[in-house]
Structure 1
Amino acid sequence: MSHRPRFLLVAGAWVAAVTGALVAVPLVLRDRLPEPLATHWGLSGEPNGAMSFWTALLTQVGTWALIAAVASFSLLRRDAVLHRARRRAAGALLGGGGGFVAALQGMTLAANLDRPGWHAAGRLDWQVLLAVGAAVAGGALGWLAASPGPDEPYAREPVEQPRMRLRPGQRVVWMSSASNPGAVALGVAGLVGALVLALSSLTVGVGGLRFTAGSLAVIGVIGLAVSTVRVRVSDQGVVISFGPFRWPSRKLALRSIQSARAEERHPLQVGGWGLRGLPGSATIMVRGGECLVVRYPSGGELGITVDDAAHGAALLNALIAERSDAA
């Protein structure tokens, strides 16, 4: 059996196994569950919302079906399984999504088990972290499980390396950036929510507010950190900065770069958003589209999603050539 049908068989078996567990476990425990079930908990940890047994079951299975459909969409192309980045993205999504949904269902059933009614369901506070942990662990295992096998490069048309003409002694600087409005909105919403809850915790005696505020603050900071990337090209090299405060940053010296070019790259092609790939073959993916791709003498590449990448590549190639001539 070739790698493609084997990978699809394993992925299909995982989807079927998770679906079977999501359906079978509640049915086995149905006689020990109240009707309706507690399905929502407030910031205090007490249940404050309920659904009928079948509505809750269909919601959980439907959520898993949506996750599986998104993962399958990334593998629509017949040769997609042959690219390690796409396999890893699909594997991480299936593993993490399955772990998250299963953990949520498990906590819901445990909180409702043998209770006289949904108002008497157990509290959920720190237990929510178990769902997050299951998602992270499942995603990591899915990523690792999808790693073995072929990794065929994407077919790309030969690209002529652009080069800008510089007058003797001329110093030129090129700067550009790209941002992801969704990540910006997530970061701002997280920080605003954290501030509101932190202030509320000073006057309202509700348990869990400070913990939730801290969680939202972490989400906000991470969202803003990955929302924007800025690139500066000069005779000092390439400086890549992240976030609205341009921190953290990374500098690439001219001597460590062989050439540069502009290229179209998209999240599904490289495995998602953020820093994708491995050292030597990575992409800083803030938004799909135009990228500045720098190539190292070792053959490795780093792509950065920024606007006007062609002019940045042309200047960088001119500076590299000027340095070589001087040497």
Structure 2
Amino acid sequence: MFRRHEGPSGHRRTAVVTLAFGLAAAAVSLGCAGLWDRLPDPLATHFGAGGAADGFTARGGFLGVALGVLLGLGALFGTLAHLGREAPGAQRALTAAGCAVAALLGAAFGVTLWANAGADDAGTVTLAGRQLALVCAASAALGGLGWLLAGPGAPPPVTRRTPAPTAPRLELADGERASWTHTAGSRPIAYVGLALAVAGVVAGVTVGWGSGIGLLAGGLPLALLTGARVTVDRRGLTVTPLLLPRPRLTVPLDRIEEATEREVNALRDFAGWGYRVHSGASGVILRSGGALSARLSHGSEFVVTVDDARTAAALLNALVVRERPAPGA
């Protein structure tokens, strides 16, 4: 039976990322209300390379799309943060990323409203480069603030037990160094992410970036994070995206009690793919099949689907024993 551990930091991170999207939605609503009589109908919502307007959206439709995107993504990021509360490092990174996305979208919608304010004809509206720089600066600033507000969180209490004698284990000589690494991926998730990203570009070009940016915000990370490199070495177990240096998940040796290989059904055991938290276990689930399973010292399980998991488990157990010898040894 695995135990869940939830601390105040986990709840705080969920609240922070949800509040960021709520504040962005409130700011856009207030801005729209304050500028309503000065806004043309339709609004200029898409701008070409030179900053000139070349796409338009009805005034009421713009507000509906903006609120739908912000509140929808707020619910998504809040749910992911809540589910990821057993992995403080990943939850903190998710909180910062969510705050950055909230600021990016809120500022983009805001500068669009401001650019349209006072225009008699939306066709004459332009978007200056400094306004785009403001959007990027707001995203970076709120992302950093989200990282600080999330806090590192106190590590859960640990017990220090060694792997059972029946667990797979490599024999390492004194002072011998060893590491294991393998890549894992999921083509279906990559295709879904790519499809969402393409749909976002199409929607942005044909309807307006107010509707397309939400699809892009969901599709691009999905497409980029569908492959991972799994590494076992003296640091512990590390999972890193293939195409990006972050986010990186590391489970140090002093948090691991025992590693084994087991079969995973993505839908039955984890209710889906990606980074998952389900029934006292968390992990990176990119497919069904063989997986490396690490039983952690605070009672939960970390799982990552990867080929040759038995070798990885054997090395991980050997490194744990070397790091934490059995009593009386």
Q: Same fold (TM over 0.5)?
A: yes
Output the amino acid matched with 2:151: S
**Which gives a bigger RCO, structure 1 or 2 (Cα 8 Å, sep 6+)?**
2
- Structure 1 unmatched runs, 5+: 167-172, 191-219, 245-256, 271-282, 296-301
Q: Distance in 1 between matches of 2:293 and 2:137?
A: 35
Which SS does the other structure have where 1:267 is aligned? strand
**Which deviations, in whole Å up to 9, do the C-alpha atoms of 1:56-100 show, x marking residues without a partner?**
0111111110111112212556xx657634652553244223211
- Aligned residue for 1:267? 275
* 1:163 and 2:168 correspond: yes
Which SS does the other structure have where 1:74 is aligned? helix
* 1:50 and 2:75 correspond: no
Q: Distance in 1 between matches of 2:85 and 2:320?
A: 37
- Structure 2 unmatched runs, 5+: 1-6, 172-178, 198-219, 244-255, 265-269, 296-301
- Aligned residue for 2:135? 131
Q: Distance in 2 between matches of 1:140 and 1:305?
A: 32
**Which deviations, in whole Å up to 9, do the C-alpha atoms of 1:217-249 show, x marking residues without a partner?**
xxx9xx77x664456889xxx9999759xxxxx
Q: Is the 8 A contact 1:292 1:313 kept in 2?
A: yes
Cα offset, 1:36, TM superposition = 0.6
Query: Considering only aligned residues, what root-mean-square deviation do their CA atoms show, in Å?
Result: 5.5
**Which deviations, in whole Å up to 9, do the C-alpha atoms of 1:180-213 show, x marking residues without a partner?**
43558979x99xxxxxxxxxxxxxxxxxxxxxxx
- Aligned residue for 2:204? none
Q: Is the 8 A contact 1:232 1:240 kept in 2?
A: yes
Q: Larger C-alpha radius of gyration, 1 or 2?
A: 1
Using the size of structure 1 for normalisation, the TM-score is: 0.55
Q: Distance in 2 between matches of 1:240 and 1:94?
A: 21
* 1:118 and 2:122 correspond: yes
Output the amino acid matched with 2:32: P
Cα offset, 1:260, TM superposition = 5.3
- Aligned residue for 1:30? 36
Provide closer, same or farther for how the CA distance between residues 67 and 152 of structure 1 changes in structure 2, counting only shifts above 3 A.
farther
Which SS does the other structure have where 1:39 is aligned? strand
Aligned residues: 255
Could you tell me which of 25, 31, 48 is aligned with 1:19? 25
Q: Is the 8 A contact 1:40 1:47 kept in 2?
A: yes
Provide closer, same or farther for how the CA distance between residues 70 and 154 of structure 1 changes in structure 2, counting only shifts above 3 A.
farther
Q: Distance in 2 between matches of 1:258 and 1:150?
A: 20
Using the size of structure 2 for normalisation, the TM-score is: 0.55
Moved more, 80-89 or 67-76: 80-89
Cα offset, 1:267, TM superposition = 1.7
Cα offset, 1:19, TM superposition = 2.5
- Alignment map for 1:164-203 (pairs within 5 Å): 176-181=182-187, 182=189
Cα offset, 1:114, TM superposition = 1.5
Percent of aligned positions with the same letter in both sequences? 26
Provide closer, same or farther for how the CA distance between residues 261 and 45 of structure 1 changes in structure 2, counting only shifts above 3 A.
farther
Output the amino acid matched with 2:139: A
Q: Is the 8 A contact 2:115 2:126 kept in 1?
A: yes
- Aligned residue for 2:149? 145
* 1:104 and 2:112 correspond: no
Provide closer, same or farther for how the CA distance between residues 262 and 143 of structure 1 changes in structure 2, counting only shifts above 3 A.
farther
